[in-house]
Structure 1
Amino acid sequence: MNSDCGNIIRQTVKKNVLLAVGIVIAVCGAVVISLLPPLVLAKMIDAMTQKQNVGFTFVALYFGLTALTGVMEASREGFLTVFGQKITHALRSSLMEKFTRLTADSLNKQEPGALVSRFVGDVDTVENLFTSGIISMFADACRIISILAVIWFQNKGLALVLFILLPFLFWFTRYVQKNMLAAQVENRRAVSRASGHVPETLHNIRTIHNLSKENYMEKRYDEYIQQSYHAMEKTNFYDAVYSPVILILNAVVVAVVMLLSASGSPKVLTLFGMSAGTAVAVMNYISQIFTPLESLGMEIQTIQSAIAGVQRINEFFALPEPAPKQHENTADSKPVQNNGKSFVEFRDVTFGYDEHTVLKHLSFQVEEGEQITLSGRTGAGKSTVFKLLLGLYEPGEGSVWIDGREAAAIDRKDRRFLFGYVEQSFHRVAGTVKDQITLYDEKISMENVKEAAELTGLHDTIMHLPDGYDTICTPELFSQGQWQLLSIARAAAARPKLLLLDEITANLDAETEKEVLEALKRVSENRTVISISHRVSAKMGRIIPIEQKL
């Protein structure tokens, strides 16, 4: 399945045609209607200066158009926000679909921070592309052009002045915005360094005290704060300068035009002559034209950031996916042993990471119900054996079989009911104690949950919690040994045929290790078990040596 930002956005537009039409109507309507109230006001003032009665219709029309302008603006913002959220949802859903299709090898090559930024920062910039980028820029550009067109028909001299002035004003706006953005980025970096400095200091507090480095750490923190302070000073300076310059420029333009329109010179009045009502309308338009001009600069910056975000998202979508493979249970796929009872089998497996070969021509068999321990020095490839069994990688040569099926070809929905994996440390998910065991799998019943907890000896402990199995899990809810027992319960809850145990007692003291091993003995009964352990007390059954062959 090939996908990219462009396709996802087009599909989202197709699914939300009415919303897209609403956005177009709101954008165009807001631009057109905003031009009308000053013209109505001009007619009213001209009528009053000529001592004519201004009817209630004109007054109602003026206030009605003003209110309608506000409604159209609000509608535009509301429609854009909803559309942006739909784009965000579609992008993140597609990214997650892509994520689940990638191999462990592809994901391991991605920097975790960069990967997270695809889902968060980059997607947000694409949302901003629509909520405050392309559509807003189009609306602001239309508003500027339409105001200039109206002014041209009302006062050609002022229109010429604005045509000359606007390029300079736009350059000044972009100059200020770029410098503010650079200062804000520097401030965020400084704040990030200062924020990271605090936990770093706490983490190394004993070393700091032992080496008497308190003053050094304080000085470093003060430097980061000063960097943030100087960056904020720049931001505040440009922010403080910009608004007064715009206001003064606005006042100067109005004053010059008013003076020229009252000069009395026929040649000057040809360009700048206007009635009192037109003067009021013109002043209103001048004040309106500066706001979209300022917004244009920010919208260009938003679009530039969004384009970079789109490129990074498309790079993620372009990551290669494993080709679907058809694995048939032919005679060639049967276990090599004559009795045909091998439950787990490595057949002449060679595997490596990039150019580094870890396993070379590895072969072994594990019978159903047998318990074995993989032994070997650090780096020999014991954990790699587990990754191949879990289907996270495919062998470069040879094949890996579980219960008559190639490990990499086992359907994901079947894996948890075929094998359970217990790691060195427990990885908690958001939710209740029950959720920790089921991992939100509805196929695992409450009966299965309680059975797994009882096998590990955790049932009574859980029942003494405030809400039993429905107690929300927090880091301090269980001891380290109890978390490991919960990890075993998680693996056993689906009643798998095979248990994979990866150094599960490595971080436990002797007493806790004994408790975990007793629980493990109960859980392992009538199951095939493959374990990794350096501790003699934790080794189970037959020993299979794993040696890295050079």
Structure 2
Amino acid sequence: MRNIVWQILRKNSLLLFILILAIIASIAISVTPPLILQYIVDSLVSGSFSTYPLLIAGIVYFALNAGSGLVDALKETLITVFGQKITHGLRSAMCHRLDDLPAAYFVGHEAGAVTSLFVNDVDTLENLFDSGVVSMIADAFTIFSILAVVFHLSPGLGILLCICLPLLFLLTRYFQKRMLQAQRDNRIAVSRTNELIPETVHNIRTIHTCQQEHYLRQRYGRTIRASFNAMERSNFCDSIYSPIIITSCTVIICLMMTLSVSSPSLQELFGMTVGSVVALIAYVRRIFSPLESIGMEIQNIQSAVAGIGRLKDFFAEPVQERNGTMEPVPASVPLVIDDAAFGYGREKNIFRHISLTVNAGEMVTITGRTGAGKSTLFKLILGLYRPREGQIRIFGCDPCQLPPPLRRQIFGYVEQQFHAISGTIADQISLKDQRVTPEAIEKALRLVGLWDTCCALPQGLATPFRPELFSRGQSQLLSIARAVVLNPQILLFDEITANLDSLTESQVLHALQAAARDRTVLSISHRLYEASGERMIVMNGRES
């Protein structure tokens, strides 16, 4: 993640340079006006002054105060733009990495948690730059600049500020730790709530059927209350911090005035004239203003720190190889499974001792009870997972080491449900793969019997896809067309005739038989086995 941030910084080096100049200009404008005010007041008190220099000084004073707003606006705009550049680059890098993550990552992480990572955690990182660490650095340099001027005007007040500022810094650190813990608790609660949403939507019918609405309400209530309590702790710390800073500012000004007139030695130490008193009061208020801002920025910084931890974990996830090192041998057997065993994560094996050889042009149907691992075996064949024991070979190669561009020319996979992508009807078949030609799309659609249906749409294949354009059976036919469009050598059918009526099932079976011609086929479908009469393998979850 650090390398990615550095690359983004180098890419936006000009913007960063302008931002630094804006911060320097903001600090200079913040420090200069009280010095001009001191000159004006001391000149008026002394009685020996000329009108023209004071007029020029007054004009410069008002110009600087008026210009400070413009410079601050420029600085905040640049900080916002810079933060957006950082987050845009980071999200782009995350999207590229998401495409390289193995299937095991998505099994071990809920969809809501991944979504929260891309949306909430990256947004807090933008807040880190918008009103967080960059502004905090600018405020810190402002404090140091004011301290240098204060020591020059009044060493006594400089010493007094140096005594008070560490105490206020310790107070800031205390609030920082409390708010960090609160932000972490809130992030955890929000992530758990996000995980519950897709789970609820996916199981909504079961929830209503079993009348378990109260159970879901309790689960949502616990996570929402945890988030609310965490934000209450954070808001409480934030609300009392600013009043403490403002009160400290008033106390220091009163103490400065009292000590400066209490004895001649202290008066010499504080070394104040009427003009310097006015300037020092302005500086004291100015030094506490950025300190107050730092207190208000703590919440954004700590929220971002909590999110950065999860972003670091995301970028630390191992990725799969994009360029496979093995090439299939056409003369080899299409599929060989040798004593394979597999289980997800640290769970026990779903199946063991699976051995199977499928020759070219052969159709094999895999059957077994629910949970025996039939669909999981397909995922191993596709190279999404590695077996714990044994090995799998596709044309003599480990499927995990096949180059990704080559996999679609070897495998055609049809799932139980059609998963649409954003785009046109043609995009549903090609998956926006530049290798897929219009002729190949037409051939695939004619094979499954959807060519005339698609051509009858208002814009033909260029019609934006909407689920209501096709029936459930037609959506399955689109899945078959998608699987065969690059003429793969092996087809995998995962119970695609489930939940179809008899007429639609007949159409799908006809399309499957047409697609399976001259190809090696593995299917999880009793109906396809009955129609083809080829070999059947039974999985019992342990040995086969």
TM-score of the pair, normalised by structure 1: 0.79
Question: What is the letter of the counterpart of residue 338 of structure 2?
Answer: D
Cα shift readout 1:445-483 (whole Å, capped 9, x = no counterpart): 334334433433444544555544344444545433333
Cα shift readout 1:390-419 (whole Å, capped 9, x = no counterpart): 2223454344224x7553443211222333
Q: Look up the match of 1:339.
A: none
* Closer/same/farther in 2, CA of residues 328 and 251 from structure 1, 3 Å limit: closer
Q: Take 1:443 and 1:374, find their aligned partners in 2: how far apart are those partners?
A: 32
Are residue 480 (structure 1) and residue 472 (structure 2) matched?
Answer: yes
* Closer/same/farther in 2, CA of residues 222 and 401 from structure 1, 3 Å limit: closer
> Which segment drifts farther, 185-194 or 456-465?
185-194
Q: Take 2:235 and 2:319, find their aligned partners in 1: how far apart are those partners?
A: 48
Cα displacement (A) at 1:527:
3.9
Q: Look up the match of 1:34.
A: 30
> Which segment drifts farther, 460-469 or 138-147?
460-469
Q: Take 1:469 and 1:506, find their aligned partners in 2: how far apart are those partners?
A: 27
Cα shift readout 1:1-60 (whole Å, capped 9, x = no counterpart): xxxx23333333444443443343333343234211221222223334445325443234
Q: Look up the match of 1:247.
A: 246
Cα shift readout 1:410-459 (whole Å, capped 9, x = no counterpart): 32112223332110112222333332222221222334334433433444
Q: Take 2:189 and 2:61, find their aligned partners in 1: how far apart are those partners?
A: 51
Note the residue ranges of structure 1 that are not aligned, 5 or more in a row: 336-341
Match of 2:390 among 390, 397, 404: 397
Aligned-partner SS, 1:35: helix
* Closer/same/farther in 2, CA of residues 202 and 123 from structure 1, 3 Å limit: closer
Cα displacement (A) at 1:80:
3.9
Cα displacement (A) at 1:255:
4.1
Are residue 411 (structure 1) and residue 403 (structure 2) matched?
Answer: yes
Q: Take 2:94 and 2:494, find their aligned partners in 1: how far apart are those partners?
A: 31
Cα shift readout 1:298-334 (whole Å, capped 9, x = no counterpart): 656666665555554444444445677744778xx95
Q: Look up the match of 2:146.
A: 147
> Which segment drifts farther, 15-24 or 301-310?
301-310
Cα displacement (A) at 1:95:
4.1
Does structure 2 conserve the Cα–Cα contact (< 8 Å) formed by 1:359 and 1:381?
A: no
Are residue 286 (structure 1) and residue 284 (structure 2) matched?
Answer: yes
Q: Look up the match of 1:338.
A: none
Q: Take 1:107 and 1:197, find their aligned partners in 2: how far apart are those partners?
A: 17
TM-score of the pair, normalised by structure 2: 0.79
Q: Look up the match of 2:360.
A: 367
What do you get for the CA RMSD once the two structures are aligned? Answer: 4.3
Q: Take 1:216 and 1:360, find their aligned partners in 2: how far apart are those partners?
A: 41
Cα shift readout 1:250-274 (whole Å, capped 9, x = no counterpart): 334334434555x485344324453
Cα shift readout 1:84-124 (whole Å, capped 9, x = no counterpart): 44443444444444444444346544555555555455555
Q: Look up the match of 2:18.
A: 22
Q: Take 1:90 and 1:308, find their aligned partners in 2: how far apart are those partners?
A: 20
Are residue 356 (structure 1) and residue 349 (structure 2) matched?
Answer: yes
Question: What is the letter of the counterpart of residue 269 of structure 1?
Answer: Q
Q: Take 1:307 and 1:234, find their aligned partners in 2: how far apart are those partners?
A: 17
Aligned-partner SS, 2:433: coil
Aligned-partner SS, 1:10: helix
Question: What is the letter of the counterpart of residue 159 of structure 1?
Answer: G
Q: Take 2:9 and 2:189, find their aligned partners in 1: how far apart are those partners?
A: 40
Cα displacement (A) at 1:230:
6.7
Q: Take 2:316 and 2:142, find their aligned partners in 1: how far apart are those partners?
A: 39
Question: What is the letter of the counterpart of residue 336 of structure 2?
Answer: F
Are residue 452 (structure 1) and residue 450 (structure 2) matched?
Answer: no
Does structure 1 conserve the Cα–Cα contact (< 8 Å) formed by 2:180 and 2:302?
A: no
Cα shift readout 1:229-283 (whole Å, capped 9, x = no counterpart): 777766665555444444344334334434555x485344324453333233222
Q: Look up the match of 1:104.
A: 103
For residues 506-545 of structure 1, what are the structure 2 equivalents within 5 Å? Answer: 506-535=498-527, 540-545=532-537
Are residue 422 (structure 1) and residue 414 (structure 2) matched?
Answer: yes
Q: Look up the match of 2:336.
A: 346
Does structure 1 conserve the Cα–Cα contact (< 8 Å) formed by 2:353 and 2:543?
A: yes
Aligned-partner SS, 1:499: strand
Q: Take 1:485 and 1:502, find their aligned partners in 2: how far apart are those partners?
A: 13
Note the residue ranges of structure 2 that are not aligned, 5 or more in a row: none
Q: Take 2:538 and 2:198, find their aligned partners in 1: how far apart are those partners?
A: 43
Cα shift readout 1:134-183 (whole Å, capped 9, x = no counterpart): 44433322221221221222233333332333334344445556556666
Q: Take 2:203 and 2:319, find their aligned partners in 1: how far apart are those partners?
A: 40
Are residue 277 (structure 1) and residue 266 (structure 2) matched?
Answer: no
Q: Take 2:248 and 2:98, find their aligned partners in 1: how far apart are those partners?
A: 53
Does structure 1 conserve the Cα–Cα contact (< 8 Å) formed by 2:125 and 2:307?
A: yes
* Closer/same/farther in 2, CA of residues 123 and 443 from structure 1, 3 Å limit: same
Cα displacement (A) at 1:199:
9.2
Cα displacement (A) at 1:502:
0.7
Cα displacement (A) at 1:506:
1.6
Aligned-partner SS, 1:507: coil
Q: Take 2:252 and 2:320, find their aligned partners in 1: how far apart are those partners?
A: 65
Q: How many residues align?
A: 533
Q: Take 2:415 and 2:217, find their aligned partners in 1: how far apart are those partners?
A: 39
Q: Take 1:230 and 1:381, find their aligned partners in 2: how far apart are those partners?
A: 43
Q: Take 2:493 and 2:159, find their aligned partners in 1: how far apart are those partners?
A: 80
Q: Take 2:177 and 2:203, find their aligned partners in 1: how far apart are those partners?
A: 38
> Which segment drifts farther, 85-94 or 216-225?
216-225
* Closer/same/farther in 2, CA of residues 107 and 242 from structure 1, 3 Å limit: closer
Cα shift readout 1:197-247 (whole Å, capped 9, x = no counterpart): 999599668967986x88898898888887777777666655554444443
Q: Take 1:407 and 1:236, find their aligned partners in 2: how far apart are those partners?
A: 53
* Closer/same/farther in 2, CA of residues 442 and 456 from structure 1, 3 Å limit: same
Aligned-partner SS, 2:498: coil
Q: Look up the match of 1:43.
A: 39
Cα shift readout 1:355-402 (whole Å, capped 9, x = no counterpart): 63735361322323x433223344444334422332223454344224
Q: Look up the match of 2:496.
A: 504
Q: Take 2:364 and 2:229, find their aligned partners in 1: how far apart are those partners?
A: 63
